[in-house]
Amino acid sequence: MNSATAAAKSVPPPLAAMRKVGAAITMQPHADALIAEAARFAERLNATLTLIHTGTSHSEKFAFLDEIAQRLAIPHEAHVIEAASDPANELLRNAESAQIDLLVAGAFEGSTLKRRRFLSLSARQLAERSRCSLLLVAHPRLDAHDFRRIVVITDFSDSARLTCEQALWLAEKDAAELVTVISIHTPFMQARAKFGDRKEVARTREEEELLLEEFVRGLPCCSRPVDWRVIDAGTGFAACDFADAIAADLLVLPGRDHLGGRVLPMADWVLQVVPCSLWIIHERPAWKSAEK
């Protein structure tokens, strides 16, 4: 592990674009816990909460959502979507229509929630297609708890810097034990740098370390411990391994909006196997971009 002293400016508040939280609910055993998780995150953000459910019967689904919300004493709105051939796409379309800034969903399906599993198909589709920020909760819990160890992936872009700032805000809010900022350095980057091929990203291991240290030093001052680490690997799966090794409970990465995918190219494995909850941050959800 390495540490760096952050810049003097204080951690900024949560994004102004995160004022409406939506919870994607299914009739699974952990639905109560997922609603509780979404409600707690909405409270952190001082945001409203909307419950969204795909189903075939409006009355049945509304009753299902309202019964849980009343039992947990959670203020909310509710949206029920008719079943469709592509429920994930319908859910995202409905979330955009409801002007959701942050969508919360379960990472896995079924009652057995082990530490590391493949993302469910619906969670993977949400991660790949969502144009608003997305929080995939790996192990939903009814009881209140904080995020203790947070890992953030950076590619040194402006969106990555904003993502790190939001992770530091959450660390302050939850009094986290540790925030670790990581970058992934591949053998291909090393080879390109060695042979002077700078058409694509090409940095030596030493250049990567210096860049990451400088990046972390430029982040706002945080009262929680902040470390950094260059991960040497051929794929982004190493990020999952690292998060697992330090018992992280949240992995944070910047979102994108381009044909190449919704996340960093080296974070593709994060959309397959995750040991902890995943927070993908988009600076502006699609519906706000459409307002321009």
Q: Which residue has the higher pLDDT, 12 or 148?
A: 148
pLDDT tens profile 199-216: 666 788 899 999 999 999
pTM of the model: 0.83
Check residue 85 and give its pLDDT. 56
Check residue 112 and give its pLDDT. 46
Check residue 28 and give its pLDDT. 66
Question: Among residues of the chain, what percentage have pLDDT more than 90?
Answer: 37
Please tell me the distance from the alpha carbon of residue 197 to that of residue 189, in angstroms, as a whole number: 9
For residue 43, name the pLDDT band (cuts at 50, 70, 90).
very high
pLDDT tens profile 170-186: 999 999 999 999 998 88
For the domain made up of 2-285, give the CATH fold: Rossmann fold (3.40.50)
Mean predicted confidence (pLDDT) in 203-231: 93
